[in-house]
Structure 1
Amino acid sequence: MSSGQKIIDGLNDVIAWKQGDAAAASFHEWQAPTSVDVRSIRNKMQMTQKQFAARFGFKLETLRNWEQDKRVPETSARVLLTLIDRDPEAVKKALAIG
């Protein structure tokens, strides 16, 4: 399917939804990850806990609690950690980190 056709299909979905026909629209609901391996993400980036926390704006104690399974990251933190894991350069760019 061409990109033009994808755009047209998407617009048709929006029109159907706006007209109250939710069944005709093909929406995909995204689900936040239910868990993340914080230590693995940090180790993959070859950073200390202190470096990782400072680079991405986490409290050091919070990071330690996640890695020691004393606490579980909330949904927004799991999303950010997943983004860091998948595309750290995009996160650095978005946060204007050099």
Structure 2
Amino acid sequence: MEQALFDDLVQSLKEARAMKRGEMPASRRITVATPDTKAVREQIGLSQSEFAQLMQVSVKTLQNWEQHRRNPTGPAAALLKIVRTAPDMALKTLRD
């Protein structure tokens, strides 16, 4: 490995450690907004139990999302965005 590349990697690790300790701010921060689960469910007109079944989660999990005690992550968050953006196609695909 080239010395310059190695030095850059070491510097990056030092900066990451300083950020983790709160000694320096992160140079950028990315946040991903998750759609409001209740609004999406109401948009397509399903009950909690119907929507939970469609999303393949428990009703309790759906209620936690709707009451903002928990947030959907990963595939669930992506699926919510798809349902919000293209509800007809999403419902047709998920019900087949």
Q: Cα RMSD between the aligned structures? A: 2.1
- Aligned residue identity for 2:88: E
1:77 CA drift (Å): 1.3
* Number of the residue aligned with 1:37: 36
Change (3 A) 1:35 1:94: same
| Structure 1: segments with no counterpart, 5+ residues | 1-30
Alignment of 1:10-89 (within 5 A): 33-89=32-88
Moved over 6 A (4+): none
1:74 CA drift (Å): 0.8
The TM-score with structure 2 as length reference comes to 0.59
| Structure 2: segments with no counterpart, 5+ residues | 1-29
Contact 1:32 1:78 in 2 (8 A): no
| Bigger fraction of residues in helix | 2
- Count residues in correspondence: 67
* Identical columns (%): 28
Q: Distance in 2 between matches of 1:44 and 1:88?
A: 8
The TM-score with structure 1 as length reference comes to 0.58
Computing the radius of gyration over CA atoms, which structure comes out larger, 1 or 2? 2
